[in-house]
Amino acid sequence: MIIKNILKYMQFHNIKRILTFNLLKKIRNNRFLFNFFKITSANYVVLILGIGTSIIINRNLSYDERGSFALILTVQSILTLVISFGLPNSINYLTINLDSQHKKSALLFSNIFSLLFLIIISAFIYLFLWDLLNNVYKKFFFIIIILIYSQIMFSLKQSFSLASQNYKYYAITQIVNRILSVLGVILVFLCFKFNLTNLLYTLIIAQLLMNIVLYFKTGFKGITIATIKDTKPLKLLNVGFKNMFSNLLSVSMNRIDIFVVNYFLGNKIFAIYAVALFLYSLFETASGSAGLILANKSASNEDNLLRSTLKTSICLTVLISCGFLFFLIFGDKMIVLLYTEKYSYSYNIFIYLMPSLLVYTFTAGFAHALAGKGYPKRYVMAHIYSLIFASFSHYFLTKYFGIKGITLSLFLVSLFLSFLLIKEFKRTIKEDIKPDLLINST
């Protein structure tokens, strides 16, 4: 009897091992799934590491400092999109068929242009708009500028990796970049006074160290003015501007709620809301990872884009729903354990945000696939209409219904944008719009 049970146990685990091996083999043989798996795995490692820093930050900063930190990062993300001029997207879409030397030329040109543009924008703000700035932005103005350019350098290099379809390198650098930030936060926590200023200095140092390593390894030897001209800088800027405008609309629509909550509900509620948004990002990252691959697939003009997008959207929605059920059961205890009782209401806010996340997840693939098609005018208009709708919806619903109002507004906006994007995506596929983006190497 004992021998029989042992044989059954061995047989069960052998079947389990074979099934697991076959699943991994199937993923590896499917290029799209394998690339998606690599990028998603890297992003989740980054977010898991980010949980550690989030715990330290939320436990040690006051509500006011936590709110200011979230506002600074939001402003940084918006200005980064403007000053980078959409060039990370241009590198990803336009140089995908070029050799390594021309990719490096596009990377070098993009860095130089972004630096000059940053200097011009910073000087304009300092000379003409200084009196209009919030005290928080005045205090940390130069820190924000350095953070912006550090992030631009990193984004450009990551786009270079995507254009080279080097997803493994992309994944590793994402993880290493986060590890440096985590180590910096821990160092400040152990050795210095933990406040907002020291935290921002730490993030700058970590990002600069990462960029030094990345660009030293890349090297620009042999790059000449002629090779830069071959990459058609004006076309890079033209496509970049279209991408910048579209990305800015998208990010503005996704971030406008932060300013509305801070304005109407104050720093305390805003700090609690910021924790809920961080939890939101834990679920959102899988959608973003799939989107990067779909955009790359679209830009390279591969077939079966509609099929890949639909399958990805459905699978991601099911995956996110399973994660939501897990969080519904254990989330409240996890938040109290990690962030203390004062952030317990973040659980309720996240539950209110979940419907809009599910809609976003299903739509993300269509949005990114359209990105690879060159952000046609119809895509831009969808975001303009949604931004106008979001502005009125966020303002009135938050003003009269508070935190529940903003979450309801986000859901309504996500439905509206989802309808428009899917409609435009179907039109784009049906009309077989050819992406006039790829630079011919001949």
CA distances, 229 to each of 152, 226, 295, 361 (Å): 22, 5, 25, 39
Torsion of CA 72, 73, 78, 79, to 10 degrees: 60
Residue 176 is predicted with a pLDDT of: 80
Tell me the C-alpha distance between 299 and 305, whole Å: 10
Burial bucket for residue 123 (CB in 10 Å: 0-12, 13-18, 19+): exposed
Tell me the C-alpha distance between 295 and 371, whole Å: 6
CA quadruple 369, 371, 374, 376: dihedral sign: positive
Tell me the C-alpha distance between 188 and 101, whole Å: 40
Residue 262 is predicted with a pLDDT of: 82
Tell me the C-alpha distance between 402 and 345, whole Å: 14
The answer to whether residue 69 scores a pLDDT higher than 70 is: yes
The answer to whether residue 7 scores a pLDDT higher than 60 is: no
Distance of alpha carbon 98 from its chain centroid, rounded? 26
Binning pLDDT at 50, 70 and 90, where does residue 109 land? confident
Q: Determine the 3-state secondary structure of 200 from DSSP.
A: helix
Binning pLDDT at 50, 70 and 90, where does residue 12 land? very low
* Residue 61 DSSP label: S
Pick the more confident residue, 16 or 38: 38
Mean pLDDT across the chain, nearest whole number?
A: 74
Torsions phi, psi for 440 (to 5 deg): -75, 135
Q: Map out the domains of the chain as residue ranges.
A: 2-431
pTM of the model: 0.68
Residues 6+ apart with CB under 8 A from 265: 273, 398, 402, 403
Taking only the tens place, the pLDDT of each residue in 248-281 is 777 777 778 888 888 888 878 888 888 888 777 7
Averaged over 6-20, what is the pLDDT?
43
**Tokens describing residue 91:** 């590198």
Residue 370 is predicted with a pLDDT of: 58
The answer to whether residue 318 scores a pLDDT higher than 90 is: no
Tell me the C-alpha distance between 278 and 270, whole Å: 12
Alpha helices (H) in 300-344, listed in sequence order: 305-339
Alpha helices (H) in 125-165, listed in sequence order: 135-139, 141-163
The answer to whether residue 323 scores a pLDDT higher than 70 is: yes
Residue 441 is predicted with a pLDDT of: 33
Find which of 61-70, 260-269, 384-393 is predicted with most confidence, using mean pLDDT.
384-393
Tell me the C-alpha distance between 203 and 354, whole Å: 30
Torsions phi, psi for 67 (to 5 deg): -65, -40
The answer to whether residue 26 scores a pLDDT higher than 60 is: no
Averaged over 98-111, what is the pLDDT?
78
Secondary element (H or E) of residue 221: none
The answer to whether residue 442 scores a pLDDT higher than 60 is: no
**Tokens describing residue 165:** 């379809």
Tell me the C-alpha distance between 432 and 436, whole Å: 12
